[in-house]
Homo-oligomer: A and B are copies of this chain.
């Protein structure tokens, strides 16, 4: 028996692609450790374990990362109001560093020099996986079969994979593949490629799995109160039912349940990938969408205007870093640190209703708000002297008058 080329930790999903990759890697002479991260996707993890073992994996690690995914990755994104290109809540982007960190930990622990994954060569995920691996384990070697000519010329379509599977005793899916691909985790499900590649084609009805169609969702809203401390939720109450949850994972799951039942968080967008292509993606992010709106509200309520403006600038940068795969980078560490600082006083309760795909903010309160009801009141003069506003306006008009003077001199029409 020939000597092993070394050990590779493969990000294994249990599906056809990574099962073939597992066998192919063995064929190439590697020992393969299968690694499957549970970040909330709907999966039969034990079946996957058995499958990997049966395909010859030296070891199989199935790690439940749900809790750390919420606390270490989703929470900072909530604090940041992270959103890519004004619309995408980054559900896939944020999961990748969490998964890859787990993979690298196993590789280091098990003395594996290689990691491998089944991400394609045109997407963002390859970058997110690999930048995390290189950042945390710079000496690692990465095997990305879908970028290796010897692999991708051999497997040019699904049929080639099916054939290979049959030949190598890899269980073949019995149900036909949906005409698009999807990626699921606790935060969202994304749908792309296949028939969705035509950006004009409407998504087929019934594509969504986390959220109910608003046309058939309940006819009465749910009203929630979400309490925040330091910019993250600490309690979620269903006002009518009186139900209350307060651990991070449970809160997020509950928000998914409520949001999902009302069809919240569905978008259909064209986005710009890091590698420079435009791609069409359909996403559903029920709990994340509720939190996005609720956090935005409590933050604007409690944070100084100018701090907020600077913080929003940082958020745009954070969102791009996240999307492009730079969670573990000096700049993202720096920005996360700045954003965390900004959240010190983001504290209070937001009431909102969830109904037919929408989140409606109803009211908010905070012990730390800069909102001053007396100051802003139309009925109370308070401490405020309206004459000051005249001076304020006149000073602000100085530049405009000078500009007008110059334009007039130049004979420009006003």
**Cα distance A384–B401 when bound, in Å?**
12
Chain B, residue nearest A385 (CB)? B394
Shortest Cβ distance from residue A350 to the other chain B in the assembled complex, whole angstroms: 10
Q: Which residue of B147, B198, B312, B396 contacts A276 across the interface (Cβ within 8 Å)? A: B396
- Which residue in chain B gives the minimum CB-CB distance to A85? B300
A364 at the interface (CB under 8 A from B): yes
- Which residues does chain B contribute within 8 Å of A152, judged by CB atoms? 381, 386
B365–A138 touching, CB < 8 Å: no
Segment with Cβ contacts to B, from A31-39, A46-54, A65-73, A121-129: A121-129
A250-275 to B contact mask, C-beta < 8 Å, 1/0: 00000000000000001111111101
Q: How many copies does the complex hold?
A: 4
Q: Write out the residue numbers on chain B whose beta carbons fall within 8 Å of the beta carbon of A148.
A: 387
Q: Which residues of B contact A85 (CB under 8 A)?
A: 300, 308
A329 within 8 Å of B by Cβ?
Answer: yes
Q: Does A328 contact B (CB under 8 A)?
A: yes
Taking CB atoms, residues of chain B closer than 8 Å to A138 are: 397, 400-401, 404-405
Contact A392 B297 (CB under 8 A): no
Q: Is the CB of A168 closer than 8 A to any CB of chain B?
A: no
Answer whether residue A201 sits at the interface, using C-beta atoms and an 8 A cutoff.
yes
Report whether B388 and A394 are in contact in the complex, using a CB–CB cutoff of 8 Å: yes
Tell me whether B330 and A403 are in contact (CB under 8 A): yes
Given A304-B331, A365-B199, A405-B138, A398 and B276 contact (CB-CB distance below 8 Å): yes
Q: A269-B361, A278-B370, A361-B267 are in contact. Are A301 and B396 (CB under 8 A)?
A: no
Give every chain B residue within 8 A of A414 (Cβ-Cβ): 136
Segment touching B, from A2-10, A228-236, A240-248, A351-359: A351-359
With A278-B301, A296-B86 known to touch, is A391 a contact of B387 (CB < 8 Å)? yes
**Segment among A18-26, A56-64, A182-190, A335-343 that sits at the interface with chain B:** A335-343
Q: Judging by beta carbons under 8 Å apart, are A342 and B334 in contact?
A: yes
Residues of B within 8 A of A373 (CB): 197-199
Chain B CB count within 10 A is highest, among A81, A297, A355, A389, for A389
Task: Tell me the complex Cα distance, A398–B309, Å.
Answer: 17
A127 touches B181 (CB 8 A): no
Q: Can you list 12 A-B contacts with CB-CB less than 8 angstroms, sorted by A residue number? A: A127-B389, A269-B300, A270-B371, A275-B389, A275-B398, A276-B305, A277-B372, A278-B376, A310-B317, A338-B338, A368-B406, A389-B395
Closest CB pairs A-B (n = 4): A391-B391, A121-B386, A276-B398, A306-B331
